[in-house]
Amino acid sequence: MKQHICILILFFILSTSTFLVSGQNQSFFEPIPHKTLDKTEMIVIYNIKYSPDSTNIQDRFETKAVLYIGNEISLYQCLYSVKREEIMRGAENMDDLRERAMNAPNARFAGRYFKNYPSGKITVTDRVIPDSFIYQEDKNICSWTLHSEISNYKGYSIQKASCSFGGRDWIAWFSTEVSYSDGPHKFSGLPGLILKLYDTRNHYLFEMASVEVAANGHVIEFPEINYIQTTKAQFFQARSHFRDNIINRAAEAGLDIESQQTAAENLRRRNNPIELTAD
């Protein structure tokens, strides 16, 4: 089973998208238990424009992410990973899984970011094929500087703020008209919701597309799978090791030389993550 899943995963590397499966030593077809963390109060959708290749920043990709905000805890993840997993979860066998995978939307980012879980921390779950990892870091990832500039965005009054995080300098525009101190990716801590966020190199741009009250009964859940407990630095090292050894991984999965080279080239062009450094 694990080899079949690796082959399918590598197929999606060849096609430049990201494929999500269940955790280490856990069958994709087994039900995954979830722990309810909080009741969802607001749902924010962000449009993301980004340059995955730092050597060709004009090559821009677009995707969407969703921020579920609860009373104490929030969850941020790729919207298409939510939709993709809903589609994939009903698969009955590997043939069905392949068929569903072909028709599911591309999920460019696999990470889930649970803010204030536990209190004062961010819990991150992410993947390095074929394993699922989990690590924590402080919720206050950067020290914000507030600026006097005021503007408007989609009918909201917004104010400028800036910080440095993950090897990048960031500009955020937040609105106190949406009282939740939250935002895309790992960012939070401002006196309102971040509606627009970008790095000064113009590699990543997050823009709020919609804000709505969550339907009654919607909850924030934590999937309880077999994660590998690690640190942020160790996770970054594992991700780099996978990239450096992609040809060997592809060979082990039975891909031919041409496909191995294609996988390596596609990963080479994905050299520009949101966080460049682990400190």
Q: Please give the Cα distance from 98 to 132 (Å, whole number).
A: 21
Residue 12 has pLDDT above 50, yes or no: no
Beta-ladder partners of 124 = 113, 135
Residue 30: predicted pLDDT:
65
Which backbone phi and psi does 266 adopt, to 5 degrees?
-65, -40
Whether 46 and 207 have beta carbons less than 8 Å apart is answered as: yes
Residue 104 has pLDDT above 70, yes or no: no
Residue 21: predicted pLDDT:
41
Comparing 29-43, 99-113, 169-183, 224-238, which segment has the lowest mean pLDDT?
99-113
Whether 48 and 140 have beta carbons less than 8 Å apart is answered as: no
Residue 215: predicted pLDDT:
93
pLDDT, mean over the chain: 85
Whether 175 and 158 have beta carbons less than 8 Å apart is answered as: yes
Residue 18: predicted pLDDT:
38
Mean pLDDT, range 119-141, rounded to an integer: 94
Q: What is the CA radius of gyration of the chain?
A: 19
Residue 230 structure tokens: 């690690």
Q: Which residues are CB-neighbours of 131 under 8 A, at least 6 positions away?
A: 23, 24, 228, 238
Residue 84 has pLDDT above 90, yes or no: no
Q: Please give the Cα distance from 174 to 197 (Å, whole number).
A: 9
- Residue 88: band (very low, low, confident or very high) from pLDDT cuts 50, 70, 90: low
Rounded to 10 degrees, the C-alpha dihedral 84/86/87/92 comes to: 130
Q: For residue 144, how many other CB atoms are within 10 A of its CB?
A: 17
Q: Which residues are CB-neighbours of 56 under 8 A, at least 6 positions away?
A: 269
Residue 199: predicted pLDDT:
98
- Residue 27: band (very low, low, confident or very high) from pLDDT cuts 50, 70, 90: low
